Amino acid sequence: AAGVIQSPRHLIKEKRETATLKCYPIPRHDTVYWYQQGPGQDPQFLISFYEKMQSDKGSIPDRFSAQQFSDYHSELNMSSLELGDSALYFCASSLGRTRTREQFFGPGTRLTVL
């Protein structure tokens, strides 16, 4: 079965640079979530989109922005990168606003800021 695809899998950037992470949800899934997971930490919710509209916002820095496109893929744009932004970034997708709220996670993008 098709899973969530994230690219790139690994990304190395310098401080103050920008980065763009991409997420391709499971086919027919219309909701995308972004999470950040620091070393030894649990995933922290950043932002979500349903039918291309922002549906929820968590602890996402103002330096970050995201959007969902007409084909339902999503991009997380990160600017003025800081050392503390180094983390695993996960995208998850789900099918609509279902009662179960089941979210399926991608393999993640490991961002390293030097």
Partner 1 sequence: TQLLEQSPQFLSIQEGENLTVYCNSSSVFSSLQWYRQEPGEGPVLLVTVVTGGEVKKLKRLTFQFGDARKDSSLHITAAQTGDTGLYLCAGARSGGSNYKLTFGKGTLLTVNP
Q: Which of 2, 18, 102, 112 binds partner 1 (CB under 8 A)?
A: 102
CA angle 58, 61, 62 (to 5 degrees): 115
Residue closest to 56 by CA, chosen among 33, 75, 38, 76: 33
Is residue 8 part of the contact set for partner 1 (CB under 8 A)?
no
Site string for partner 1, 54-93 (x = CB under 8 A): -xx-x-----------------------------x-x-x-
Q: Which is nearer to partner 1, 8 or 18 (CB)?
A: 8
Distance, in Å, from the CA atom of 40 to the CA atom of 99, rounded to the nearest integer, reads 30
Contact 34, 91 (CB under 8 A): yes
Least distance to partner 1, CB of residue 102, Å? 5
Is residue 4 part of the contact set for partner 1 (CB under 8 A)?
yes
**Cα distances (Å, whole numbers) of residue 65 to 40, 49, 53, 91, 100:** 25, 12, 13, 14, 27
Q: Which is nearer to partner 1, 79 or 105 (CB)?
A: 105
> Under the rule (CB under 8 A), what is the footprint of partner 1?
4, 31, 33, 35, 41-45, 48, 50, 55-56, 58, 88, 90, 92, 94, 97, 99-108, 110
